[in-house]
Amino acid sequence: MLGFAQLFASRLVKALAILIAIVVMNFFLVHAAPGDPAMVMAGEAGAADEKFVEQLRQQFGLDRPLHEQLATYVGKIAQGDLGFSYRQQRPVWDILAERLPATLILTLTAFLLALAAGVALGTLAAITVGTWADSAITVVALLAYATPIYWIGLMLSLLFSIQLGWLPAFGYETIGAGYTGLAHAADVAQHLILPVITLALFYMAGYARLTRASMLEVRGQDFVKTAKAKGLSQSHIVTRHVLRNAILPVITVAGIQAGQLVGGSILIETVFAWPGIGRLAFEAVLQRDYQVLLGIFLVTSVMVILFNILTDILYGIVDPRIQAAR
């Protein structure tokens, strides 16, 4: 148990160093793009004069030298302050906190659904390899993987909301309905179905293909033959021997994808008008809303680092040899 704590602590220290590097790099990255928020706002206004742009730059602190802006920014981050979006006239943390739940509920649900369904389908395909069931799963997975995600979204929306009228086409909740408690949860869940299915289909396809390939590889190994020779049941062999060994690459990929939960749903959020953080990031890029963009980058980086640590820990639990070898 001590080894585990040590591992965790050393990873945290490394993570902190990486995070600082990321903050600084991101800062220069967003300032490298041409144009600035004052210019964008002047463009949107359709009329401008020198004073207008000057006032905005002064208010946004853009008239200060870049290194000074960086120092201010890093100083604030160190105090846990993500800064202030002058465009929206609100603290960045408030803006993110407002958008994060919508994104997380969407991506986490889709992620878990995709993982469960993908592993199940991949396993099924592997144990029925060569039969019609295997072919069907492979074809569906290939299609889901290859079709553009926004196109699936629009088609599902056309079918289920416009043609059949079963589900809402977009949005997070029914506006002005004033639901509370369970009724509110049911309302959000209803709005959640189409975007979750769209997003999950894409990820699921990857997991299914990966699980199938990995299972087929493990199935041919000696210890599986030994298990068979011992007379273990088919289901026991599949779950305890084959799947447990075959699942490692799936965990690797899932770990990487989990890190992208915050930023990886821009297209879905756009098609379904989902008020999440992916869209916020996209708009912040176009509007050069530096502070918001940096805030999202930071949150995303933290997520990636956390999920990497989590993945490492999970490896050790699933396959104790990995920890022993460390």
Which residue ranges make up the site for another protein (CB under 8 A)?
33-37, 39-53, 55, 59, 87-90, 95, 98-99, 102, 150-151, 154-155, 157-158, 161-163, 169-173, 175-176, 267, 269-273, 275-276, 279-280, 282-283, 285-288
Phi first, then psi: give them for residue 85, nearest 5 degrees: -85, 110
Q: How far apart are CA 316 and CA 326, in angstroms?
A: 10
Residue nearer to another protein on the CB measure, 39 or 193: 39
Work out how close the CB of 73 gets to another protein at its nearest, in angstroms, rounded to a whole number: 19
Work out how close the CB of 220 gets to another protein at its nearest, in angstroms, rounded to a whole number: 43
Q: How far apart are CA 164 and CA 177, in angstroms?
A: 22
Coil vs helix vs strand at 279: helix
Cα–Cα distances in Å, from 33 out to 21, 57, 68? 19, 16, 18
Residue nearer to another protein on the CB measure, 98 or 320: 98
Q: How far apart are CA 44 and CA 191, in angstroms?
A: 32
Residue nearer to another protein on the CB measure, 285 or 310: 285
Query: Contact, 254 vs 310, CB < 8 A?
Result: no
Query: Contact, 271 vs 171, CB < 8 A?
Result: no
Work out how close the CB of 265 gets to another protein at its nearest, in angstroms, rounded to a whole number: 13
Q: How far apart are CA 134 and CA 136, in angstroms?
A: 5
Nearest Cα residue to 298 out of 256, 266, 263, 272: 263
Tell me the chain's radius of gyration from C-alpha atoms. 24
Work out how close the CB of 174 gets to another protein at its nearest, in angstroms, rounded to a whole number: 11
Work out how close the CB of 53 gets to another protein at its nearest, in angstroms, rounded to a whole number: 7
Work out how close the CB of 182 gets to another protein at its nearest, in angstroms, rounded to a whole number: 21
Work out how close the CB of 101 gets to another protein at its nearest, in angstroms, rounded to a whole number: 12
Coil vs helix vs strand at 177: coil
Kindly state the tokens that stand for 119.
Answer: 């592993």
Work out how close the CB of 294 gets to another protein at its nearest, in angstroms, rounded to a whole number: 16
Residue nearer to another protein on the CB measure, 269 or 296: 269
Residue nearer to another protein on the CB measure, 209 or 288: 288
Residue nearer to another protein on the CB measure, 191 or 209: 191
Nearest Cα residue to 258 out of 212, 214, 311, 316: 311
Phi first, then psi: give them for residue 175, nearest 5 degrees: -75, 130
Kindly state the tokens that stand for 158.
Answer: 């056309």
Work out how close the CB of 100 gets to another protein at its nearest, in angstroms, rounded to a whole number: 12
Residue nearer to another protein on the CB measure, 86 or 315: 86
Residue nearer to another protein on the CB measure, 227 or 285: 285
The residues facing 40 across adjacent strands are: none
Q: How many residues does the chain have?
A: 326
